[in-house]
Amino acid sequence: MQQDEILRKLIDLSNELGEESHQFLIMGEGNTSASCGDGTFWVKASGYRLGQVGVEGFSRVSIDPVMKMLERPNLTDDEISEGFTIALVDPAHKRPSIETFLHAIFIQETGAQWVGHTHPISVLSILCSAAGAEPFLRNLFPEQILICGVAPMVVPYADPGLPLAQAVRDSLRRYMDQYDRAPHTVLMLNHGLIAIGESPRQVFNITQMVDKWARILLGNSAFGGPQYLSDENTARIDTRKDDKDRLRLMNK
């Protein structure tokens, strides 16, 4: 895929995620990225609304300088800002989002092609509660498993920027050791949702399905709480070949 086509698809994904009727985010919240396949990636610049962002709101960034900053635990805000400037492929591009770290991690360590970070009201209603991510740790219905994966990756709250990125990196490595696969769904306590996919449509599908999942959890709290699927049913859905074929069609 040519770079202008990647950017065009990323803009379309961003505008769709930012559509106000979805209630996935408001104002300048959220960010998106897409791998260019050559050690660089497009990522939303700071301050732009996802629902309205265009070409001017994206920066192309080299992964290596960003990942190297992650190995330095005590960087100042000024050093991070300077590091992002150095990482820009084109110096004329805007300063990328502080959460560029998160996108670099998933692209580098999981081979992700597309990443969408949002703050859905439904999801945050649970992640900001005393229950935290606990209600999401067991599965509720087949489509949720098919679209979102057999288990979400959960990240404890950390200050946005370098501390959060390091918490995400550490959580990701633990997740991949446990499940021997990369996550599709990432829940960050008191913060938001990250959807990871091989296509823009997959990122949107995951975001939409986690929103549905959260709404169901909120709704069934009035009827005695969730009735979770058994581990056996979860394993069956996770390994069904016909469902994998259907998933490929849905994510195109």
Looking at 22-31, 101-110, 241-250, which range is the least confident one?
241-250
Q: What is the pLDDT of residue 243?
A: 66
* Euclidean distance between CA atoms 19 and 25, whole angstroms: 8
Average pLDDT over residues 98-109: 95
How does residue 134 score in pLDDT terms, banded at 50, 70 and 90?
Answer: very high
pLDDT in tens, 18-55: 999 999 998 889 999 999 999 999 999 988 999 999 99
Is 195 strand, coil or helix? strand
Q: Which residue has the higher pLDDT, 61 or 221?
A: 61
- Helices and strands, counts by H and E, the chain: 10, 7
Q: What share of the chain is helix, strand, coil (3-state, %, to 5)?
A: 50, 15, 35
CATH superfamily of 3-250: Class II aldolase/adducin N-terminal domain (3.40.225.10)
* Paired sense of beta strands 31-35 and 114-118, if any: antiparallel
Q: Which two tokens stand for residue 189?
A: 């306590």
* Euclidean distance between CA atoms 99 and 158, whole angstroms: 12
pLDDT in tens, 150-205: 999 999 999 998 999 999 999 999 999 999 999 999 999 999 999 999 999 999 99
Q: What is the pLDDT of residue 237?
A: 87
Contacts (Cβ under 8 Å, ≥6 apart) of 36: 3, 6, 42, 60
* Euclidean distance between CA atoms 108 and 250, whole angstroms: 25
What is the distance of C-alpha 221 from the center of its chain? 26
Reply yes or no on whether the pLDDT at 97 is more than 90. no
Answer whether 118's CB lies under 8 Å from 27's CB.
no
Instruction: Kindly report the pTM of this predicted structure.
Output: 0.94
Reply yes or no on whether the pLDDT at 245 is more than 70. no
* Domain positions in the chain: 3-250
